[in-house]
Structure 1
Amino acid sequence: MPTVLFRQRALHLALTLPLATLAHAAESPPATATALDKVEVRGRAQTLYRVDDAAVGTRTDTPLALVPQSIQVVPRELIDDQAARQVTDLYRSISGISFFSYAGVTLRGFRQENVLYDGLRGDPYAGFSVPQLFNIERVEVLKGPAGALYGGGDAGGVINYVTRKPKATAERRIEVQMGNEGFRAGSVEGTGPLNATGSIRYRAGLYGDTERGLRWNADSESVIGDASLAFDVGQTGELVLQFTDITQNLGGNRLRGVPVDDAGSFMTNRRWNHNEASDFLDMRARVALAQYRFAPRDDLDVDVAARWFSNNEHQMYHEPMGLIDRDRDGVAEWMTRQLRNQIRDNEAFTANANAVWRIDTGRIGHKVLFGADVYQLDADFTAQTANSADLARGAGPVRGIDLFNPVYGASTWHDYNLGALPWRSTSTRSKRYGGYLQDELALGPRWHVLAGLRWDGFKDEDRIAGSGVDGNDLSWRLGSTFTVRDGLNVYANVASGFVPQSAANQNPAAGGPFDAERSKQWEVGLKSLLAERVSVNMAAYRIDRSNIVQATGAVIGGVNQLAALGLVRSTGMELDLLADVTERWVVNLTYAYNDARVKDAGPGGITNASGDRFANAPRNTLGLWTRYDLPAIHSAIGFGADHVGERVSLDGQAVKAYTVFDMSWKTTWKQWQFQANVKNLFDKVYAASGFIARNGHFPGEPRRVYLQAAYAF
C-alpha cells in the first residue's frame, strides 16, 4: 500500500477503533495465521479481551481510563469465545445488568430499553425480538444517565451496538453450527479491498438459523444479510455505506412466562406454552447507514452519520388471562386466554453531526466536542382482540388451555372469525432533536476534567386525534479523573438525565401536561492496570429518579387524575476484573451490588415496582468466564458461571436466585477452527425474570449444546 494511503487508513483507525484493537491490527499476520493465533500463549486477556477506547462514553477518541464514568465493552473476541448468538448471552459479562423481558434488561436497578446502533438512536428489533450478534463487532454499555450526550433516556444507562465494517485486510470465513433442540445455523462472510490500492473496501455476510424452540409449540427461523462499502475520500476522509436486512419468523410466540406460586416455584413444566403451534411473531427489519468522517485540519475531526430503518411486525398469539378452577377440585388448572392479532409498523430516521476541536489555552489542553442530532419515529399499531369463552361464560370464542395436561390444536386463530371483530389503531410520530457541547480539559499530566451540556427538544403527535405534546429540557455532566500513578486512575462524576412523559399521560383533563421525568447520578470509582496483567475497575453510585407520573386516586369529571411526584433511589457498586493469572490462564469476573428502592410512592404505586422494591432488580449478580490454553494441542478450554440473586416480580411474587454454569472447548487445525459449548451445564431449572402473576415467570434456557466448525481463507 502506498505511504499516503497507509496514513489515511491509520488516521481512520485512530478515529474509530479502540487503541488495543489498533495495536493488534497493526501487528496482525494474514488471515490463516490469525485463526491459529487465537490459541497461542500471548496473554489473551490483555491483548484481546481488554478494550481501551469506546466512543460511546465521550463521542471522542478519549481512552476509557480517562473517562470519569463507568463504561464496559464486550469485544468480538469474548462474544466468539462464549458462542453468544444474541445479546441475552452476554449479560454475565456486564456488571449491573440482568434480564427483564424480551430485549429489555435491568441496568443499575432500573428497567432499560434505551439502545443505540453505531451511536445513533433506533432499535430495528423494536423490543419484542432479541438483538442478534452476527453483524455486531462489540457491545458498549455507558452506565448511568446519558442525557448530556444522547438526550432523553433511561436512568440506568444506554447500550450501544457497534456494527461490523469493511477492513483493509482480506478475511473470508464459512461457518456451520448445530446443536440440540434442532438447532442448525450457517454463515458466510468476507471483507477486504476491492481495488489494488485498497481505497475501496467491502464487507458482506449472510447468516441463517433454525431451531425447534425451548417451549412446546415454539420454533424459530432467522436470516440476516449485511453488506457495506467503505471509500477513501481525499487525504483523510472515509465514507461508509451499509445495508442490513433482518428476518425473524418465530412460531408459537409471543412467549409469556410459566405460572408460579408465590414462593417462585413453577407450577408446571418449564416448557409449557400458552400459545398454539399456529401462533406466530413474524418480523422484518431493514437498516441503511451512511457515515462520513474526515479531518480537515490536524486539530479538527468531523463525522456525519445518517441512519434509516423500518420494522414491520405481525404477532398472532394467545395471551394468558389467569387460572381458574374449572373442574372445581380446589386446584386452579385452566388458563383462560385471549387471542391477540397485532400489527406494528415502525419507520425511523436519525442523523448526527459531530466536530472535535483540539486546542491549548496556556497550559490547559482542550478537546472540545460540539454537535447536533435529530430523530423521528413513526409508529403505527393495529390490533384485534378475541376474548376468552371462560371469562364470558360461553359467549366468547377463545378456548383456554390446561396447565398440567395441555391439549393443543383444539382451536386455532383460524377458528375465531377475526373478520367480524373490530380493529383498534394508534398512529404516533415522535421527534427528538438536540445540540450539545462538551469540553475535556487536561489541567496537567495527571488531572483531567470533563464538562458537558445538552439542550433537547421533543414533540409527540397523535396523528389520529390530531393532538400533540412538546417540550424541551437541559442535561449536563461534570466529572474529573486523577492519575494517582501510571496505571491507576480515580474519578468522580455527577450526571443528569430525563425521559419525556408518554403522550398517553399528558391529557389536560387528567392534570397534564407534565414536565419530563428526571434522573441524577453521583458516581466515584477507580480504573487500574496492574503490571500489564490485571485490569480492575470499581464504581460506587447513587441514582435518583423523580417526577414520576402516577395516579393520585382522585377522579374529576370521570377522569382518573395523575400527578408527577415520587422518588426512586438506586445505590450500588460494581467490580470488573480481567486478569492473566498465568500466561495460559485468563479470568474475566464481574460483580455488582444494587439496592433500588421506592423512597416516595405518593398515593399510588410506581411503575415497574412492587411495594418499595423494583421488579427484577437483584441485589447481587456475579459473572465469571475463565479460559485455559493448551498450546501443545492447539486447544483451549473455558468455564463460565452466572449468578443472579433473589428478586420480586411486578406483582410481588418471589423470583428465586439461580446459578448456572457453562463450558467450552475449541481447537484449530490448519485453517479450520472447531468449537463446542455447553450452556446450563447441569440443566438447572430457574426463572430468568418475573412478570405479572397471570403471565408467570420467564423460564431460563435448559441445557444447550452447540457445535461449530469454521473455515477461514
Structure 2
Amino acid sequence: MLASVGVAHAQEASTRLPQISVEGDGAADETGDNLVAKTSDTGSKISVPLTEVPQSISVVTRKQIEEHGALTVGQALRYTPGLVAEPGGGNESLRYDFQSLRGLPYVGSHFVDGLKATFGVGNLGMPQFDPYNIERIDVVRGPTSVLYGQGYPGGMINIVTKKPTSERLREVAVGVGNDGKLFGTFDFSGPLDAEGQFLYRLTGVGRRADNQVDLVGEERLAIAPSFTWKPSDNTSLTILGSFQRDPEGGFYGSLPEAGLLYPLSDGEYIPRNFFPGDPDFDRFEREQASIGYGFEHRFNEHWKISQNLRYIDSSAEVQALSALQLIPPTTLARAALYGDDRTRALTVDTNAEVTFTTGPLAHTMLAGVDYARSVWDQEFGFSAMVPPIDIRNPIYGSPIQVPDSPATAMVFSSTRQKQEQIGVYLQDQVRWGNLVLTAGGRYDSADLFSDRKSSFLGMDTSGSSDQKDDAFSGRVGLTYLFENGLAPYVSYSTSFVPTLGTGADGVPFRPIRGEQWEAGIKYEPNRFDGFFAASVFDVRLENALTTDTRPGRICMGQMGPGPCQIQSGEQRFRGLELEAKAQLSSGLSVLGAYTYLDAEITRSNGPDLGKRPVNTPEHIASLWLNYSFQNQTLLGLTIGGGIRHQGATFGDPENTNRVPAHTLFDASVRYDFGQKFKDLEGLELAVNATNLFDETYVACSGKSYCNYGAGRSVVGTLSYRW
C-alpha cells in the first residue's frame, strides 16, 4: 500500500541590469526582463513564435519566477493553465516535483534543456531542479511523443536552465522567512576574454527551513557551473554541469481522511503541525549530479545541426513512517518504509534543420535521432510492525526496526531496471502565405528489463521481465496567421508509454497509447506586449491497466500476491483552457488562467468505472495583477496580488472521498532602490506571501494518503546586482 502511494506522489528596465530570457537550449539569448515570451523551441524543436505551434504551450519566464518568489518548480507553475501544480498540496514539494497535465500522470513528463530528466515509476531518488538555476519553464500540453519519445498524452514540462551571457552579470541575495527559512544565492556570468569567444556562468543556492509540521526540516546546497565557447557566429558549444545535495527533504508523510476531511470522534481535527513519523527514524538524503553539453553549428543560412547530451546520477536514502489507518478514537496505525535508490541515465539528441522552398511553399524541415539509456537500482523495504501513535499525545523515540533486509521487513525487494530507447523523427513546417502546416512522425524502439529479488512474509516473490516495444507516433497541425495577430489552429497527435510487466498468461504488456484532437486560437497583439490563448481538447488513453477478473488469476507483485492485470482500461480527458499574459506600458501586468476538465474512466474492471480519476479537479482558475508605480514619489515600488482556485476532487477511485475546493490568495511587494537613489543602483528588496490568509485545505490521493496543504509563507529577499 505504502509503495503504491509513494508512486502516486513520487506524482522589468531602468537602473537594473537586464535579465536573461532563453529562447533555446544553447547559450543564453539576452532579450531583456520579459514577462511575456514570444518564441520557444520546445513545442517544435525549432525556434518559432508560440502562435505557430499547433498545440497549447505556456512559458513561465525568469521574471515570473522572481515576481512570485518561487522556491520550487510547482510554485513557479501555480498560475499556468492545464495542470495541477501541486497535487499533494504543496507542503511536500521541496522533495519532488509532481504535476499532472490535463488530468494525466506526471510520470516521465519532466525534461531539462529538451532531454528527459525523470526515470522510473516509484523512484524515491527522483531528481529535483532548483528554480534559481532555471531561466524559464515551457509547458506543452497534449502528446509530445512525435519529438520526445515515450510520454503520457497530458504533455511535458521542459525546464530551461541558465546559460552563460555575453554581458557581465553579478547578483547575490539573502532571504529569510517564517518557519525558519534562511537562504543565500549567487549568480555570476559574462565573457572571459575581450573577443567574447569564451563565456561562463556560475550559480549557487544554499538554504534551510523548518516546516509547518513539527520536527521536520529542509536543507539544500546546489551549484551549477557552465561554460560556452563560440569560435564563430555560426558555432557554439556550451558545457553544463550541476551538483545538488539535499540532506533533509521536508515532510513527505501521510494522514488518513479521518481527522482532515471530517472530525475525529472527539469532534476535533488532526492539528496541521502534527508529525505522524518519528524524528529518530525518518530521514531523507539525496545527491544528484549532471554533466552535459549543447552544440550547434550553422553551415549556411539554410543548414544547421545541433546536439544535446546529458548524463545524470541521482541517489537517495529514505526512511519514513506513514499512517496506515485510524484506530478510534485518536490512534494511528503506521507503517515503515525504507528505500535506497540510485539512477544513472544518459540521453542524447542529434538533429539537423534545413530550410528550402518548393514552388510557393516554404519548408523548415527537422530530422533527428535521440537515444536514452537508464539504469535504476532500488532496495525497498516495508513493514507494518511499527508502534502506533496517539494524535493527541504523540510519543516519539520508540525503537523502530528499519525494514532494510528480508529479515526485518514484511516486504523486501532488490530491483534493477534497465531501459534503452532509440527514436528517429522527421518534421516539416510548411508555409503557404499565412497558412502553416506542421506535420511530423517518429518511430521508437524501446528495450525494458527488470530483475527483482524479493520476499513477502518470507515467501519468495522474485521475478524478472525482458520486453521489447516499438511504436509510431505523429502529429499534424494547421495554423492560419492573421495580420492582426490572431492564429487559429487545429491539430491531431498521438503518444505511447511502454508498460513493464506481464499479464496472467505471461505475455508482456503493450505500450499505453494516447491520442488527442485539439483546436484553439492564439493572439499576439500588435499594440502592446501580450499573449492570449484558448483551446479545447479531447484526449483518449488506451491499453490502461485494470484488474483481471477472470477466476483464478493471481500474480506475484512487489508487495506480494494479488490480482493480475489486463490492458482493457480506457480513459477520456476533454476540456477547455484559457490563458492571458500582458505587460502594459502603464506599469500593469496581468496573468490569467482557467481550466475546465471533464475526465472519466470509460473502461475498467474496477470500481473506478465511470468515475473521475483521483485528485483531478474539474475547475482550476488563477489571476495575478502586478503594478509598478510610475509617479516620482513611489518610483521603484511594485505591488502584486493573486488568487488561485482549485475545484473539488476525489481522493479514491470509487469517488466516495470528496476533497473540498479551496481558494488561496498571494501577494508581493518589491522595491528597486536604484530607480530613485542612484547610489543604491542594483539593490532590491522583495517580500512574497503565499496563502496570505493561511487557509486550511487538504489534498488526497487515497483514503489513507491525505495531507494538509501548505499554509501561509512569507519570505523577504534582499538582492544586489552590479
Distance 1:259 1:273, change over 3 A: farther
* Residue pairs, 1:354-373, within 5 angstroms: 354-373=351-370
State the AA in 2 paired with 1:692.
Answer: G
Match of 2:431 in 1: 442
Alignment of 1:308-707 (within 5 A): 308-325=311-328, 331=329, 333-388=330-385, 398-412=386-400, 420-421=407-408, 423-444=412-433, 446-463=434-451, 467-501=465-499, 503=500, 505-507=501-503, 509-510=504-505, 512-530=507-525, 531-556=527-552, 558-559=554-555, 560-580=563-583, 583-601=586-604, 603-604=605-606, 612-631=611-630, 632=632, 633=634, 634-651=636-653, 652=655, 653-669=657-673, 670-687=681-698, 689-695=699-705, 697-707=706-716
Shift of residue 514, structure 1, vs aligned partner: 2.5
Is the CA contact 1:276–1:318 (under 8 Å) kept in the aligned structure 2?
yes
Check the 8 A contact 2:667/2:689 in 1, yes or no. Answer: yes
The two structures, once aligned, show a CA RMSD in angstroms of 2.4
For 2:279 and 2:609, how far apart are their aligned partners in 1? 34
Alignment partner of 1:292 out of 291, 295, 298: 295
Give the secondary structure class of the aligned counterpart of 1:111: coil
In the superposition, relative to structure 1, how do residues 555 and 426 fare at CA in structure 2: closer, same or farther (>3 Å)?
A: farther
Residues 610/106 of structure 1: CA separation in 2 closer, same or farther (3 Å cut) = farther
Question: Which residue pairs with 1:209 in the alignment?
Answer: 207
Which position in structure 2 is the counterpart of 1:65? 51
Instruction: Summarize deviations over 1:99-147 as a string: whole Å, max 9, x none.
Output: 2244222211212231111000123896766542111110111101111
Distance 1:265-1:141 versus aligned 2 partners, 3 A rule:
farther
TM-score of the two chains, using structure 1 as the length reference: 0.87
Measure the CA separation in 2 of the matches of 1:387 and 1:241.
47
SS of aligned partner of 2:77 = helix
Amino acid at match of 1:117: V
What is the CA–CA distance in structure 1 between the aligned matches of 2:31 and 2:201, rounded to whole Å?
20
- 1:123 lines up with 2:110 in the alignment: no
Contact 1:253 1:315 survives alignment (8 Å) = no
**Alignment partner, residue 37 of structure 2:** 51
Larger displacement relative to structure 2 (529-538 or 183-192): 529-538
Contact 1:511 1:561 in 2 (8 A): no
Distance 2:124 2:522 in 1: 35
User: Which has a greater percent of helix?
Assistant: 1
Matched residue of 1:554: which SS?
Answer: coil
Is contact 1:369-1:439 (8 Å) kept?
A: yes
Report if the CA contact (8 A) 2:257-2:704 is conserved.
yes
CA contact (8 A) 2:198 2:228 kept: yes
What is the SS of the residue equivalent to 1:292? strand
For residue 32 of structure 1, what is the aligned residue in structure 2?
Answer: none
Kept in 2: contact 1:199–1:232 (CA 8 A): yes
Distance, in Å, in 1 between the alignment partners of 2:26 and 2:417 is: 37
C-alpha contact (below 8 Å) 1:238/1:292 kept by paired residues: yes
- For the 8 Å contact 1:251–1:277, the answer to whether it is kept is no
Q: Determine the structure 2 residue equivalent to 1:280.
A: 283
* 1:24 aligned residue (10, 25, 31): 31
SS of the equivalent of 2:595 reads: strand
One-letter identity of the residue aligned with 2:205: Y
Q: Residue by residue, what CA displacement relative to the aligned partner does 1:130-189 show, whole Å, maximum 9, x if unpaired?
A: 542111110111101111111110121000000101000010111000011000000112
8 A contact 1:109–1:595 mirrored in 2: no
Q: Residues 694 and 681 from structure 1, CA distance in 2 versus in 1: closer, same or farther, beyond 3 angstroms?
A: same
CA contact (8 A) 1:458 1:471 kept: yes
Could you give the per-residue CA deviations for residues 387-444 of structure 1, whole angstroms, max 9, x where no partner exists? 32xxxxxxxxx21111233222234557x89795265201110111100000000022
1:551: how far off?
1.6
* Helix, strand or coil at the partner of 1:198: coil
Q: How many residues align?
A: 653
TM-score by length of 2: 0.86
Distance verdict in 2 for CA 1:292–1:324, change over 3 Å: same
> What 5-or-longer segments of structure 2 have no aligned partner?
1-20, 89-95, 453-462, 556-562, 674-680
The C-alpha deviation readout for 1:632-676, integer Å capped at 9, x for no partner, is: 331100101111011101353111101111111111122211111
Deviations 1:53-84 (A, max 9, x none): 11110000111111111100000000001100
Identity of aligned residues (%): 25
Give the secondary-structure state (helix, strand or coil) at the position aligned to 1:345. Answer: strand
By how many angstroms is 1:513 displaced? 1.7
Higher relative contact order, structure no. (Cα contacts within 8 Å, ≥ 6 residues apart): 1
Q: What do the CA deviations read for 1:34-54 (whole angstroms, capped 9, x no partner)?
A: xxxxxxxxxxxxx71111111
Deviation, 1:286, is 0.3
Per-residue deviation, 1:261: 5.8
Cα gap change, 1:15 to 1:643, in 2 (>3 Å) = closer
Work out the CA distance in 1 between the residues paired with 2:404 and 2:596: 51
State the 1:190 CA deviation. 0.0
